[in-house]
Amino acid sequence: MKKSIITTILVVFLITFFGGFLRFYKITQNPPSLNGDELSFGYAAYSILKTGKDEYGVRLPLVFKSVGDYKNPVLGYLLILPVKIFGLTDFAVRFPNALVGTFSIPIFFLFLLDIFKKKKIAYIGSLFLAINPLDVYFSRVAYESLIAGLFIIFAIWAFMKLLDGKKLWAFVSAFFFTLTMYTAPAPRLFVPVFVFAALLISIPTLKKNWKVFTIFIITCLVLGLPMVYTTLFLGSGTRFNMVFLTHDIDFIRHILLKYFDSFKDIPLLFFFWIERYINYFQPDFIFSNALHMTTLDSFGLGLLYLFDIPLLATGIFAFIKKQIPHKNIFVIWLLTGIVPDSITNNLQQGGRLIHIVPVIIIITTLGLLECVKWFNSLKSLFLRILIAGAYFSFVILILIHAFLVFSVHFPNEKSESYDEGLKQVSLYISEHQSQYKEIIIDTRHGVDAPSLISNPFLYLNFYLKYDPATYQTEPKISGTSSNPYYHYNKYTFTYINWPVDSKKTDTLFIGSPWSFPSDLQGVKILDTIYLTNGHIAYYIVIPKKP
Amino acid sequence: MMKKEVKIYFLLAALLTVNLFFILFIGRNIYPIHLAPQNILASDLIGITTHLPNVLISILGLGNLIFLWLISKRFFKGYAALIVPAIYAISPWSSYLTAAGSFYVFLLFLLMVFTYSLILIRDGSSALGAILFLASSLTAVYSSVFFLILIPLYVALVILFKIIPTKNIKKLVVIFAFLIIPIIFLILKNATSFKNVVQNEITVFKDPGLVNTANQFQGEAEKSGLKILARLSENKYLFYSETLLLKYTDQLVPVTFFTPQYKLLNFSFTPPIFLGFLIPFLYGFYLSAINPNTRKFLYMSTLFVVPSVLAKNIISLDRLVLFLPVVIFIIVWGLIHMFELKKRKLIKCLLALSFVLVIFQLLVTMSDIKTREKLRFESYYGNKYEITEQ
């Protein structure tokens, strides 16, 4: 008995260690740069640590205004301790996600063991989670949905216990469900829809244990009240309005052929939503491009690896046929989990589906067990060797490809969208800013066209460790959306108009090659910042004296 | 008994009328849009242009409906057999392609006749079965390069899976083999023409993006000193295989059939099959997949997604229409079993939801076709009214 426990612990430790390695290895270098969201969370945590207020001067905020997208607060607060320990560094910002991603593995193991009571399922499931491309990718960036994904496992696990009628689990489940909603935007929609559907199918149990369910609902409502307040009065509902499906370009341009402005348009919107929803079950998305890690999204990585196709297909049948505890809850988890992303107008994002990954992994695990059963039933040794050889070769090739996508293609092809170069720009400014009266940074950049807009001030605040108390109180000048402009201290963030701006003296200019004349006439280049793929990201220049 | 049969014929006639009106309705609203006509393979090989006129394609479209009913009668009794043609009659997929004069409606007709002939042969009606078998299979083989491969392969699988006793079909196979000698002879004689036809039909490998991706990946890996790994796992052959695998699975997922994700005629927002049928489809698919006998048919029928797999686009709804009867049969299979279980509350709710959705979407679609389809076409293609293959 003892030996068995030690073996289990050892195996789970090895899987976790391997998963941790995939998540922590070169975490500050890949993805190649912190993105705007990560910096915003990091600086907000730094600001709270130093002053007790966020960068806007709000004491212990329930919602982080950030750059107007009103972020959920949990990650911001989680970052305070790492920032305190490691300082305001790239590692500190990415540390919580990598840690959560790593610890999700043994937790998922325990979850599977508790629900299925079979070690085999728990081992395979946790191994699949350890190497899952989606989970690995989002464990390497400060991404709130990954943390929410772990809370959802806790919440649903407790909910399953709650169905057995234990009072304590009502509190635990309600706590984690609401905590999830404070953590990431997608669960704000997922949780209410899931809870409603789960309660609906649990009516017989609900009737038996109505007191426990009442406690659950009341706890959810009480804990959720501050969130309702922030949504209605503090602007955190803004994000939802911005990204709702009615603004989808494809819907407006190709389907409705006008702006959504009347109730008569609802039927088409409904069918468009259904199309979006069902589209998440498309093999291309699941196996090839959900992560958008390569430029053309071709042969990238998805929610699962390509070698999971037969496992998933078999797993679906095994899942339907087999007696599985809380099967209905798993089905609802999967089906309602897609709702949040399906009603947004953005490109389909694998990241917003991270909370349904456990269900997909469970199905794949069941599929693997069925496939092994079928394989063992084969009588011909030759056939067994042939099938095993072919499949394992395929697995190895796909894993090599995944390694290359992570380590080579992604930094080469997507570093631009991670604003690579702005860190180096900030470090340059840090060293040389005393020589200039004003520093102007162009917010537009891009190799093929100046089509990407970033927020360089986030990088500057972060890497200069700009004093939060000063930032909160000093005067700032902001422009409008049609005339982007942001200025504080000696820093100006706007579009560079070289013929006019080049007349300024004692001014340092930073911009992509698009910000300056193509022949660089009248431009004195002080430094050039390159992307991983060798393209020029930024020039740091001053006007050439005639 | 007689009265019931007459009623069934009346209902069938009604379905034909509904289908015809639906086709005319679509045609009237998207007129003069039509697909580029396609040559018959045999005529192409000898350098004679032979197109099928649109009127003939419309008639064959109606013929499909009749053959679907004839096949359906062998599996479902009485009025239930009419559900298959009923779904076909209101299916935008076949109706759009018929209205646009798709060559694949003609091929679908041949496939229907061929399938019916196999059923007749299996059931012992040898004379009519043999005539239809030879007529349909030979016309198919002489008309399409895909059928040149798929029909013999299908017959081989029918024999291999013992769906028809070998003795019933042996003579026919010999005659068939003898009668396809002229096309083989034509192919050998006109190898260049045949190569052109094949290249025009199998366009999946023409996508330069795939080779570009392989080259780009290998170039990036080479710079990082990982060239060997990239050559091993990111070469064009592996990418071709992966593309084919993904494309094959793409052909078989609900989003392809029940949503306008892959647009009919490249521009439409009308789904190939109404969404409400998704529920019985999923149930029917599950029932078919767990039953070893029907599973065999499922495996075999996926042969007919091959023309779409080999198209340049991820999905070619034009070519995939050959698979439409299979989808309809799965829907009906699920629907009939759901009816049998209708006393269960959940099943009753799902059936009601299914019907409500079909009727609702039918109305929305009719209104949408009338008001927006032509505009959508024009915004996609300008005034180019003849479109190439999807």
Q: Which amino acid appears at position A452 of this protein? A: L
Task: Residue A257: list chain B partners with CB under 8 A.
Answer: 372, 375-376, 379
Q: A283 vs A249, A302, B172, B252, CA distance in Å?
A: 24, 9, 40, 10
Question: Residue B144: is its pLDDT beyond 80?
Answer: yes
CB contact under 8 A, A408 and B246: no
At residue B346, the pLDDT reads 86
Residue-wise pLDDT for A87-105, tens only, equals 999 999 999 999 999 999 9
Percent of chain B with pLDDT over 90: 62
* The domain boundary residue, chosen from A396, A412, A428: A412
Q: Which residue has the tokens 């291999």?
A: B160
- CA-wise closest residue to B300 among B115, B126, B128: B115
Mean pLDDT over all residues of chain A? Answer: 91
Q: If you average pLDDT over each of A15-19, B47-51, B180-184, which comes out highest?
A: A15-19
pTM confidence score: 0.90
Spell out the residues 6+ positions from residue A502 whose beta carbon is closer than 8 angstroms to its own. A522, A523, A543
CB contact under 8 A, B255 and A278: yes
CB contact under 8 A, B255 and A287: no
At residue B1, the pLDDT reads 56
CA distance B186 to A403: 50
CA distance A254 to A433: 50
Identify which of A271, A284, A317 has the shortest CB distance to residue B275: A271
Is the domain of A397 the same as that of A467?
no
Residue-wise pLDDT for A151-184, tens only, equals 999 999 999 998 877 788 999 999 999 999 999 9
Residues of B with CB under 8 A from a CB of A: 209-210, 213, 217, 220-221, 224, 226, 229-230, 232-234, 238-239, 242, 245-246, 249-250, 253-255, 258-261, 269, 271, 275, 278, 286, 289-290, 314, 360-361, 364, 368, 372, 375-376, 379-380
Is the domain of A435 the same as that of A467?
yes
Q: How confident is the model at residue A393 (pLDDT cuts 50, 70, 90)?
A: very high
- The range of the structural domain enclosing residue A453 comes to 418-543
Total domains, chain A = 2
**Does A392 contact B at CB distance below 8 Å?**
no
Give A477's strand partners: A487
ipTM of the complex: 0.88
Is the domain of A470 the same as that of A358?
no
Q: Which residue has the tokens 């109505």?
A: A210
Q: Which residue has the tokens 């080579």?
A: A408
Q: Is residue A478 helix, strand or coil?
A: strand
Is the domain of A430 the same as that of A313?
no
At residue B38, the pLDDT reads 82
Is the domain of A344 the same as that of A382?
yes
CA distance A371 to A310: 8
The bridge status of strand A491-494 relative to strand A485-488 is: antiparallel
CA distance A265 to chain B (A): 10
Question: Residue B386: is its pLDDT beyond 70?
Answer: no
Q: Is residue A30 part of a domain?
A: no
Q: How confident is the model at residue B265 (pLDDT cuts 50, 70, 90)?
A: confident
Eight-class DSSP state of A544: P
Listed in sequence order, the DSSP H helices in A378-517 are 381-404, 410-414, 422-432, 456-463, 468-473, 498-501
CB contact under 8 A, B213 and A298: yes
Instruction: Give the residue extent of every domain in chain B.
Output: 2-201+251-387
CA distance B68 to chain A (A): 28
Q: What is the mean pLDDT of residues B78-102?
A: 93
Give A445's strand partners: A452
Structure tokens at B212: 């570009």
* The domain boundary residue, chosen from A412, A437, A457: A412
Which of A258, A391, A401 is the best mutation test for B, with the most CBs of B within 10 A? A401
Taking CA–CA distances from B369, the nearest residue in chain A reads A255
Q: What is the mean pLDDT of residues B359-388?
A: 82
Structure tokens at A201: 């199918």
Q: Is residue A237 helix, strand or coil?
A: coil
CA distance A238 to A335: 26
> Chain A window 237-276: which residues touch B at a Cβ cutoff of 8 Å?
253-255, 257, 267-268, 271, 274-275
CB contact under 8 A, A257 and B238: no
Q: What is the mean pLDDT of residues B303-329?
A: 94
Is the domain of A184 the same as that of A290?
yes
Q: Which amino acid appears at position A76 of this protein? A: G
Q: Which amino acid appears at position B308 of this protein? A: S
**Does A279 contact B at CB distance below 8 Å?**
yes
At residue A210, the pLDDT reads 84
Chain A with chain B: Cβ pairs closer than 8 A: 109
Asked if residues B233 and A299 have their Cβ atoms less than 8 Å apart, the reply is: no
Asked if residues B322 and B111 have their Cβ atoms less than 8 Å apart, the reply is: yes
Q: Is residue A223 part of a domain?
A: yes
Residue-wise pLDDT for B179-211, tens only, equals 999 999 999 998 998 998 899 889 888 878 888
Q: What is the mean pLDDT of residues B98-127?
A: 91
Residue-wise pLDDT for B51-83, tens only, equals 788 889 999 999 999 999 999 999 998 899 999
Q: Is residue A373 part of a domain?
A: yes
CB contact under 8 A, A306 and B242: yes
Mean pLDDT over all residues of chain B? Answer: 90
Task: Residue B277: list chain A partners with CB under 8 A.
Answer: none
Is the domain of A209 the same as that of A319?
yes
Is the domain of A310 the same as that of A378?
yes
Q: How confident is the model at residue B176 (pLDDT cuts 50, 70, 90)?
A: very high
* The domain boundary residue, chosen from A381, A412, A443: A412
* Maximal CA-CA distance, chain B: 80
Q: Is residue A432 part of a domain?
A: yes
Identify which of B232, B246, B376 has the shortest CB distance to residue A400: B232
Residue-wise pLDDT for A269-281, tens only, equals 999 999 999 999 9
- CA-wise closest residue to A144 among A265, A233, A63: A63
Question: Residue A237: is its pLDDT beyond 90?
Answer: no
Identify which of A296, A320, A404 has the shortest CB distance to residue B234: A404
When computed from its CA atoms, the radius of gyration of chain B, rounded to whole angstroms, is 22
Is the domain of A397 the same as that of A452?
no
Is the domain of A440 the same as that of A408?
no
Identify which of B209, B234, B275 has the shortest CB distance to residue A296: B209
Spell out the residues 6+ positions from residue B31 whose beta carbon is closer than 8 angstroms to its own. none
Is the domain of A193 the same as that of A144?
yes
CA distance A526 to A541: 5
CA distance A437 to A439: 7
CA distance B325 to B105: 12
**Does A278 contact B at CB distance below 8 Å?**
yes
- CA-wise closest residue to B151 among B128, B124, B169: B169
The bridge status of strand A438-442 relative to strand A491-494 is: parallel
Q: Is residue A213 part of a domain?
A: yes
Please write down the long-range contacts of A84-90, taking CB distance under 8 Å and 24 or more positions apart. Answer: A84/A49, A88/A42, A88/A43, A88/A46, A88/A462, A88/A465, A89/A28, A90/A28, A90/A34
CA distance A298 to A284: 9
Taking CA–CA distances from A266, the nearest residue in chain B reads B364
Percent of chain A with pLDDT over 70: 98
Query: Which residues of chain B form beta strands (DSSP E)?
Result: 34-35, 386-387
Q: Is residue A293 part of a domain?
A: yes
Is the domain of A297 the same as that of A178?
yes
Query: Which residues of A26-68 form beta strands (DSSP E)?
Result: none
- CA-wise closest residue to B30 among B271, B266, B265, B373: B373
Q: Is residue A176 part of a domain?
A: yes
Q: What is the mean pLDDT of residues A238-262?
A: 80
Least confident among A185-189, A530-534, B384-388: B384-388
Q: Report DSSP letters for A265-284, one per residue.
A: GHHHHHHHHHHHHHHTT-HH
